[in-house]
Amino acid sequence: MIKFRLGNDEEMKILDYSDLVFFRKLTNKMRDPKTRFDVREFINRGEDYLFNYTNKNVGGVDERRRKFLKSLIFGMAAAAVVGIIPGVSVLVPPTVTVATGFPKSLLIDSSGNPVKASSLPVNSPYIMVFEYPMTGEPNFLINLGDSSGRPVEINPTKVVIPQTGKTYDFPGGVGPNKSIVAYSAICQHLGCTPPYIHFYPPNYVNSGQLTASEPDQLTAAALLAARQANVPALIHCDCHGSTYDPYHGASVLTGPTVRPLPAVILEWDSSTDYLYAIGSVGVAVYPNGSNGIPSQDPTEDLSSSFGTSVGEKITVSQTENPFSS
């Protein structure tokens, strides 16, 4: 800053540095042929012209002030950009889990503890249900027994598909007594789910059940079929009366269904007593043939790579007892 001393200690400010810059710029512009100061115009229009001229060529506000303000503005713009950065995550798609094969899933109970195979009640009327391989696809988890409640070993069988006449292999039960099985809880007739389709333990497979109210009723045909096949317990759908044989891979005992229930392949770890779901066999729930007819190869949809790794945990829940007594 250039200062000018007036006698008794009074200082008068004459020229700021920025003013100096301003003047230098102005004189340069005035001399520059491109932006030459038009003296004649100045005489005509007076200070108006000078004012406009300066404003246009040099700017009204001194450089430093302008620079400072500019940096504030750019700072704010930068703040906006910095603020937007987390927003860029809008471009990152949220992960949607899709199954490329069947995952290996640990079965856990509703409190989060793994289900122990040896403590699974035999012939329980409480149907243990878990969703596998996808949510919304319920399956029964049953520990099968005979009519006096002792666990029964379930052997591997060939299951016949009445619709096509073909067969597929059911691997049998797992667990300490090889008595634990799991079947889809979606009726293969028209898709009824629990409580309409449910498990009838031996004490419910009797003539008393013929007159029970829905969804506990058993048809005479179902009862007869159970006698003939010599099975103490049933899976029965109250919607239209389809009956399945849980001891033989949920094969069809009575119609209207023409397809057995797909079975969930279970794996039992004898060291921990834990149960895993690792895949399914049976007719594809979603037929990939035309017109809703299931594919000729019953394993076509359900045979891909079983049990890759423990990808997730699946909760087993007990649905309410459908029997009123």
Site for another protein, rule CB under 8 A: 51, 55-56, 59-61, 65-66, 69-70, 72-73, 75-77, 79-80, 82-87, 89-94
Binding partner selected for residue 118 from another protein, ligand FES, none, CB under the kind-specific 5 to 8 Å limit: none
CA distance 103 to 99: 7
Least separation in angstroms between CB 50 and another protein: 12
CB 261 within 8 A of CB 188: yes
CB 280 within 8 A of CB 306: no
Binding partner selected for residue 237 from another protein, ligand FES, none, CB under the kind-specific 5 to 8 Å limit: ligand FES
Least separation in angstroms between CB 126 and ligand FES: 20
Site string for ligand FES, 195-214 (x = CB under 6 A): --x-----------------
Distance between first and last Cα of the chain: 102
Q: Which residues contact 215 (CB under 8 A, 6 or more apart)?
A: 195, 196, 198, 238, 322
Least separation in angstroms between CB 41 and another protein: 11
User: Cα–chain-centroid distance for residue 128?
Assistant: 22
Helix axes of 17-31 and 63-84: crossing angle, nearest 10 degrees: 100
Binding partner selected for residue 79 from another protein, ligand FES, none, CB under the kind-specific 5 to 8 Å limit: another protein
Pick between residue 73 and residue 190 the one whose CB is nearest to ligand FES.
Answer: 190
CB 52 within 8 A of CB 41: no
* Interface stretch with ligand FES, choices 34-42, 177-185, 189-197, 214-222 (CB under 6 A): 189-197
List the one residue from 1, 14, 77, 190 that touches ligand FES (CB under 6 A): 190
- Does residue 248 bind ligand FES (CB under 6 A)? no
Pick between residue 190 and residue 221 the one whose CB is nearest to ligand FES.
Answer: 190
Least separation in angstroms between CB 89 and ligand FES: 45
Q: What is the dihedral of CA 22, 25, 27, 31, to 10 degrees?
A: -160
Dig out the tokens for 99 from the structure: 């199954």
Least separation in angstroms between CB 180 and ligand FES: 24
How distant, in Å, are the alpha carbons of 41, 65, 147, 247 from that of 53? 11, 20, 108, 101
Binding partner selected for residue 106 from another protein, ligand FES, none, CB under the kind-specific 5 to 8 Å limit: none
- Does residue 240 bind ligand FES (CB under 6 A)? yes
Is the four-CA dihedral 73, 78, 83, 88 of positive or negative sign? positive
> Which positions touch ligand FES (CB under 6 A)?
187, 189-192, 197, 237, 239-242, 256-257
